[in-house]
Amino acid sequence: MHLAALHTLSQIQLNQYGNLRHFLSIEGLSQQHLTHILETAETFLGENGQIINRPLLEGRTVMNLFFEPSTRTRTTFEVAAKRLSANVLNIDMQQSSTKKGETLRDTLWNLEAMAADMFVIRHWASGAAHFMAQSVCPDVAIINGGDGRHSHPTQGMLDMLTIRRHAGKPFSELTVAIIGDIKHSRVARSDIEALQTLGAKEIRVIAPKTLLPNGIEEFGVTVFENMDKGVEGCDVLIALRIQNERIGSPLLASSEEFYKLYGLTESRVQRAAPNALVMHPGPMNRGVEIASNVADGPQSLILKQVNYGIAVRMAVLALSMQGQLEAKGLLDQALV
């Protein structure tokens, strides 16, 4: 991304003290910012990975505004907010006044007037969270729960926390492969951005040409169209979900063909580094992106990712609320 655009992202996301105010994208954040999020998330995890409750958002109201269907993201945000003792409202945007002709801007202003402190937003349009943070509700902390094909920053950070806790060595020594539909995946973009910022040794993307975006090499990744070669020696293997609408289209002939060429099977895991980490953002299509014996195998961290997602989202909610209050000069010492 152009330096001017990155500077704008930093200005929107950070307060005057350089601390997190909104969490919209991994772009524009420094290694120090990402490390601070990961270290904060660690404070919500016990020795065995159990979630630790802390009443940091007591008396605050978090509204989940999901314009797209979601199970894991919406639920883990709700759990995260409740474990921080926030009041949580899940707004059914399919039944909102936007269906009656009210503009999105007016809907958000009305929700803000109901004493909302924070919006967690998933939207089909890329850039929607940025628009809301900059132009609609700048005084409410905005957390991006996924926008179009652009970004899914909390998924990227929970993936980084998973790697950090289980890789056994620093990011600077890791080779990470991201496999599947790179072209349409906001998860892939966020993972690539986070891995680059945290200094990963090598980032590989493995996919057929039809599922690679134009100019992908400019993102600082190594491209492989051959799966067997791409996974060789990798420390981390991240399989992406194939969206059903791609199957049978010119982009992807069939699920069987994709699995044959790009499915994460036991034999391919064996080509990676010993004890390579296996990850998937979910929901999984077993027998398409990943074999069941791999998804359920000893190297799989897929369920760990879900658990760590709660801790990461707790960290992002707490830090963003702290940054908003700090910006307004209203910082409650209990949030520090």
Tokens of 162: 């998973």
199 marked ligand binding residue: no
Instruction: Give the Å distances, CA to CA, from 221 to 144, 179, 206.
Output: 25, 12, 10
Mean pLDDT over the full length of the chain: 90
Q: Are residues 141 and 169 in the same domain?
A: no
The string of pLDDT tens digits covering residues 210-239 is: 899 999 988 899 999 999 999 999 999 999
pLDDT at 246: 59
Check whether 283 is labelled as a binding-site residue: yes
pLDDT at 64: 94
pLDDT for position 94: 63
The answer to whether the annotation marks 54 as part of a ligand binding site is no
Residues 162, 112, single domain; the answer is no
Q: For 139-164, write each residue's pLDDT tens digit.
A: 899 999 999 888 999 999 999 999 99
Q: Write down the number of H helices and E strands in the chain.
A: 12, 9
Same domain assignment for residues 280 and 173: yes
Number of domains in the chain: 2
Question: Model-level pTM?
Answer: 0.92
73 is in an annotated binding site: yes
- The yes-or-no verdict on residue 172 having pLDDT over 90 is yes
Structure tokens at 76: 């883990």
**Largest Cα–Cα distance of the chain, in whole Å?**
58
Indicate whether 329 pLDDT > 60.
yes
**pLDDT tens by residue, 185-207:** 999 999 999 999 999 999 999 99
Q: What is the pLDDT of residue 99?
A: 59
- How far is 156 from 188, CA to CA, in rounded Å? 8
93: Cβ–Cβ under 8 A, 6 or more apart, which residues?
Answer: 65, 66, 67
Q: Is the pLDDT of residue 328 over 70?
A: yes
Cβ neighbours, 10 Å, residue 173: 12
Q: Are residues 119 and 242 in the same domain?
A: no
Looking at the fold, whether 185 and 297 belong to one and the same domain comes out as yes
CA 238 to chain centre: 13
**Alpha-carbon torsion angle 89, 94, 100, 103, nearest 10:** 70
Is 271 annotated as belonging to a binding site? no
Position 330 scores a pLDDT of 74
Phi/psi for 224 (5° steps) reads: -125, 130
Query: What pLDDT does 150 receive?
Result: 86
State whether 174 and 102 are in the same domain.
no
230 appears as a binding residue in the annotation:
no
Q: Which residue has the tokens 């391919």?
A: 268
Are the C-beta atoms of 21 and 141 separated by less than 8 Å?
A: yes
Q: Judge whether 36 is annotated as a binding position.
A: no
Q: Is the pLDDT of residue 263 over 50?
A: yes
Whether 102 and 208 share a structural domain:
no
SS3 for 177? strand
pLDDT for res 306 = 95
Cα separation, 62 vs 222, in Å, equals 40
- The CA-atom distances, in angstroms, between 28 and each of 2, 7, 13 are 10, 6, 8
324 and 208 both lie in a single domain:
no
pLDDT at 315 over 50: yes
Angle, helix 186-197 to helix 153-166, in steps of 10 degrees: 50
Give yes or no: residues 163 and 143 share one domain. no
Q: What is the pLDDT of residue 250?
A: 61
Lowest-pLDDT range of 95-109, 113-127, 318-332? 95-109
Is 241 annotated among the ligand-binding residues? yes
- Binned at pLDDT 50, 70 and 90, residue 5 comes out as very low
Residue 100 marked ligand-binding? yes
What residue numbers bound the domain in which 136 lies? Answer: 3-151+310-335
- Residue 149's pLDDT is 81
Domain match, 139 and 123 both: yes
Q: Are residues 176 and 289 in the same domain?
A: yes
CATH number of residue 249's parent domain:
3.40.50.1370
Of 78-87, 94-103, 110-119, the range with the lowest mean pLDDT is 94-103
- Asked if 91 and 188 sit in the same domain, the reply is no
